Structure 1
Amino acid sequence: MKQCAIVILNYNGAEMLKRFLPGVVEHSTFDLWVIDNASQDDSVVILEQEFPQISVIRLSQNFGYAGGYNQGLEQLKGDYQYYILLNSDVEVTSHWDQDLVQFLETNRQFAAAQPKILSAKDKRLFDYAGAGGGFLDHLFYPYCRGRIWNEVEEDQGQYDDDLEVDWTSGACFVIKSDLFHQFQGFDEHFFAHMEEIDLCVRMRQEGFRMGYTGKVTVYHLGGATLDRSSPRKLELNIRNNLAMIYKNESRSRFWWIFGQKAILEGLASLGYLLKGQRDSAHAVWKGYSGFFKMRNEFLQRSATKKAPFLGPSKYVFLDFFFRGKKKFSDL
C-alpha cells in the first residue's frame, strides 16, 4: 500500500487545471489523480497532453462533488493509506502534501486535517472555505477562525497553531483512507456543498477527531463551480444543512433547531427581498422545500456518541448580526 494519493475532482474546469496544476505538480511528492465528472470541455485532452504524469479516472456523468469523489475513490480503495482531497482551484506551497500527511502521522488522534487556507485573490486574507479551522454552533451554522459569514480577517499569523476543529474544509484536507470508506464517504444526496461537514459530524459522533495545522498554507480561489453569492449555492447550503441536522440529531432536537432556523432564515429571505434580491430570497425557500422533498432519503443515524461542538459561539448568527461580533476573537 502506498502512503498517499492527491485527488482532484474536475468538472468543466479546463481553465482551473491549466492555471493551478503546474504548481501542484511542481510542489507535490505523492501520486496525483484527477477524477473527471464527465466534463464537456477539453479538460481530459489537456490532462492527457499536458500532464501525462497525472492519472485520470473518467466518470460517465456529473455526479457532483459528493458522488464524484465517492465513485472515483472507490477505484483507489486499498491502494493508499491517506487521501488528500484538493479542489482544482487551489495553489499549493512547497512540501505541502508531505507536511499534511506528517501532521496526521505525528498526531494520530486525528482522522483528518486541513491546512491554513488563504485567498488566492488576496493572499493577505483568509479564504471563505475553511480559513483557520472550522466550527459549528448549536444550530449547525458553520464558521471559521478567520471567517464568520462573509467577514474575513487578514492573516497576521494568529492562526499558525495546531488544534482540534469540528470540520475540515473540502477545499483541501487529508483523511485516512480506511475511515473514508468505513463511513461510506460523502452523502451523495447532498450533490455539492456541506458534504465534508456532514462527514466530519458523522465521524466525530463515532469518536474520531478532526485537526487543523497552520504550519501548512494553501491558497484557494473559490467560486470556480458556483460563486459564493449564487442563489443555487444558497439553496444547496440550506437544504444540506437541514439534512445534516436531520441525520445526526434526534427528531425532537431536530424540530427544536428547525424552528429557530426557520425564523432566522425567514428574516434573511425578507432581507433579500427588501434589497431587491428576489432570486436569493426564493433560494431560501427552495432550500426548505428541497429538504422536505428529500428528507426520507436522509436517513437518521444512531450515533454512538454525541460529540460536543468545540467552538466558542453557541449562536453565531446572533453574535454576528445582532451583537456585532465580526471576528473569531470577538466570540
Structure 2
Amino acid sequence: MPGLSKRFESMIREIDIIIVNYNSTDYLLKCIDSIFENKEDLKLNLFVVDNYSKDRPERILETYPVIHYIAHGQNIGFSKAVNKALKICKAQWVFLINPDTIVRKYFFSTILSYLNDCPEVGILGPKILNPDLSVQGSARAFPNAFTALFGRTSILSKVFPGNRVTLKNIITLQQNHDEVLKVDWVSGGCMVVNQSAIRSVGLLDEQFFMYWEDADWCRRMREKNFEVIYFPKASIIHIGGQSSNSNFIRSRYEFHKSCYKLYFKYAPYNFFIKPVALFGLAVRFICVSFLNTRWFKIVFRRTR
C-alpha cells in the first residue's frame, strides 16, 4: 500500500489473534490461510479455541502446528471461550476474528498503522463485507425498544430497508463507508481490542452464551471513556453464521435470550416493561424459528 511501508517500520510488531471454532473447521482453515498470507512482517500469536467441534478440528494442528490450540469437552459459549484465551494473551492489541472470515490484503498493517497513535481506542471494528463485497451492518447504535422491529436482522428492515429507524440504528447504512467514525458498538465478527482497556473494563460478560456480548463490551468500554471506532479503511470478508447453521432454532433462541439479558442489564427496572419485552422477544423468536423458510435463514446468517 503506497505510503504505508515507512510508517510500518515504527509500528506495533506483535499481535494476538483469537478465533473461536464450533463446527466450522473447513472455513477456519481458509481463514488461517488468509491470516498468514497477509501478516506481512508481524509476529502473530494465534489462539484457536474449539468448543467441542465434531468436524475433526485437530486438522488445524496438522497444517499449522505453531498455533495455540485450546480444546474444550463441551460447547462453553463464545464469551467463555474468548476469555480463556484472553487470560493468556500478552500483546497490546488482540484481534477477535470469526472462523468464517477471509482477511484481505494490508488488513493488519492498515489497522495497526492507525492504532499506533490511538491509546484511547478500546475497540476497533473494521469494515465487514459479505461474500459479494456488499457492506454488512457491523457498526450500530445501541439497541433499544425499536431494534427488535427495525434492527439489522428484523423482517421490517428487509422489507423497508430505507426506513428512518433502521438507518439510525445501522451506522454503515447512513454514513460514507470510507469515513472513520466513533460509534456505539461494532460487531464481534471481527474486532480489535486494547489490552489496557480490558484491564480497566474487564473481560467479556459470560452470562452471554452467544450474541450481544459485543454490544455489552463496547458499552462498558465507552462507560470507561475508551473509544469504539468503526474503521472502514481495512476490510474482512465474513461468510456469516456457519457455526449456527447446524442448529438454526437453538441459535435463534440464544440470540433472543441474550438480547433480553442485554436490555435488562442496562434498562431501569420496571415491573410492567419486563414482561412486555419478554413477550415481544418470544413472539419474534417464534416467528423467525417456525416460519423457518430459506429466506429467514438468509436474513439471520448475516447477524454477526
Q: What code does the residue aligned with 1:56 have?
A: Y
Question: What's 1:65 paired with?
Answer: 78
Q: 1:278 to 1:100 in 2, by over 3 A?
A: closer
Q: 1:96 Cα shift?
A: 0.8
> Is 1:49 matched up with 2:65?
no
TM-score, normalised with respect to structure 2:
0.75
Higher relative contact order (CA 8 A, sep 6+): 2
Displacement of 1:88 in angstroms is 0.5
* 1:261 match: 277
- Is 1:23 the counterpart of 2:34 in the alignment? yes
Aligned to 2:135: 126
Match for 2:50 among 36, 50, 55? 36
The reply to whether residue 88 of structure 1 matches residue 99 of structure 2 is yes
Task: Report matched runs for 1:1-331 at 5 Å.
Answer: 3-28=14-39, 29-31=42-44, 32-44=46-58, 46-76=59-89, 79-120=90-131, 122-123=132-133, 125-127=134-136, 130=138, 133-139=139-145, 141=147, 147=152, 149=154, 151=158, 158-227=176-245, 230-252=248-270, 255=271, 258=274, 261-262=277-278, 264-265=280-281, 268=284, 277=291
Instruction: Give me the whole-angstrom Cα distance separating, in 1, the residues matched to 2:110 and 2:231.
Output: 9
Distance 1:228 1:140 in 2: 29
**1:15–1:93 Cα change, 3 Å:** same
How far 1:181 moved relative to its partner?
A: 4.4
Question: 1:160, 1:167 → 2: CA distance?
Answer: 17
Alpha-carbon distance between aligned partners in 1 of 2:47 and 2:288, rounded to the nearest angstrom = 41
Deviation, structure 1 residue 195: 0.9
Unaligned runs of 5+ in 2: 1-11, 163-171, 294-304
Amino acid at match of 1:38: Y
Alpha-carbon distance in structure 1 between the residues aligned to 2:254 and 2:197: 26
1 CA distance for matches of 2:248 and 2:280?
Answer: 20
Q: Distance in 1 between matches of 2:201 and 2:285?
A: 35
Return the offset for 1:226.
0.9
Number of aligned pairs? 266
| Residue pair 2:127, 2:233 contacting (<8 A) in 1 also | yes
5+ residue gaps, structure 1: 280-331
Pairwise CA RMSD of aligned residues?
3.4
Please state how far the C-alpha of 1:91 moved relative to its aligned partner.
Answer: 0.7
TM-score normalised over the length of structure 1: 0.69
Distance 1:60 1:271 in 2: 33
Relative to 1, partners in 2 of residues 1:143 and 1:169: Cα closer, same or farther, differing over 3 Å? Answer: farther
User: Which one-letter code corresponds to 2:34 in the other structure?
Assistant: G
Secondary structure of the structure 2 residue equivalent to 1:43 = coil
1:93 counterpart letter in structure 2: R
Aligned to 2:296: none
CA positional deviation for 1:60: 4.2
SS of corresponding position for 1:108: coil
Shift of 1:106: 3.0
Higher alpha-carbon deviation: 85-94 or 201-210: 201-210
Does the Cα contact within 8 Å between 1:2 and 1:80 map onto a contact in 2? Answer: no
| Aligned equivalents of 2:61, 2:14: Cα separation in 1 | 25
* Change beyond 3 A, Cα 1:142–1:56: farther
Percentage of pairs with the same residue:
23
2: distance between equivalents of 1:261 and 1:63?
27
Alpha-carbon contact 1:193-1:240 (below 8 Å) kept: yes
In the aligned structure 2, how far is the partner of 1:17 from the partner of 1:247? 33
Q: CA deviation at 1:238?
A: 1.8
Counterpart CA distance in 1 for 2:242 and 2:114 is: 28
